[in-house]
Amino acid sequence: MPTKIDPSVLHQLFLDARSHNGWTDEPVTDAELRALYDIVKFGPTSLNTQPARFVFVRSEAAKARLKPALSAGNHKALAAPVIVLIGYDLKFYDKIPELFPHNAAMRDMFVNTPAMVEPHAFRNSSLQGAYLIIAARALGLDVGPMSGFDATKVDAEFFPGTTVKTNFIAALGHGDHGKLFDRLPRLAFEDAAQIL
């Protein structure tokens, strides 16, 4: 049975965690990126479809390819050790026989109902992107998610000739806490939720 986690973990994942926009030069290793993905892949997705596709942009050459797609205000993200492109594969359903083997016929549901494909892929890759943020924090990394970019340019540069489209981008590394803004307000329960 699940038990409550220690409050210090909640502080690391949510209560004290921040979206970073400044970075130290401490690197993020291949081993850390693989460990990160090995946690993210266990987050639940509908029908276990796992439509997210991740590109870890780390080299200066790869960052130079990404820069023209970023809004001017997001160029500061290039100082992060890694920028993660969180995409979604519009042909995720081809993996259903492998990932959902007890009902592989679910693949045909998507093939025969194309209007279901992109909403499913976008929604579930968004979940996987959120898992990435939480998993990175759990591993001692900081994250700066962003949406100020030209998705068409990112797709053309990093996913050409594929069925993958960009959902959002996140800078990843060790944040420079001296560059953080004050924490912004959050909505009260009464403004965002209800119990029926």
Mean pLDDT, the chain cut into blocks of 10 residues (196 residues total)? 91 95 96 98 98 98 98 96 98 97 94 98 98 98 96 98 98 94 94 98
What is the pLDDT, as a whole number, of residue 173? 98
Instruction: Give 153-160 contacts, CB < 8 A, sequence gap 24+.
Output: 153/68, 153/69, 154/66, 154/69, 154/85, 155/87, 157/65, 157/66, 157/69, 158/55, 158/57, 158/65, 158/66, 158/85, 158/87, 159/53, 159/55, 159/87
Whether 23 is covered by a domain: the verdict is: no
What is the pLDDT, as a whole number, of residue 16? 94
Which DSSP state fits 120?
H
Whether 75 is covered by a domain: the verdict is: yes
> Domain range holding 115?
28-175
CB atoms within 10 A of CB 169: 27
Q: Residue 177: exposed, middle, or buried by beta-carbon count in 10 A (0-12, 13-18, 19+)?
A: exposed
What is the pLDDT, as a whole number, of residue 10? 95
Whether 193 is covered by a domain: the verdict is: no
- Total domains in the chain come to 1
CATH code at position 148: 3.40.109.10
Whether 129 is covered by a domain: the verdict is: yes
Whether 196 is covered by a domain: the verdict is: no
Estimate to the nearest angstrom the gap between the alpha carbon of 136 and the chain centroid. 10
Whether 191 is covered by a domain: the verdict is: no
- On whether the pTM is more than 0.75, the answer is yes
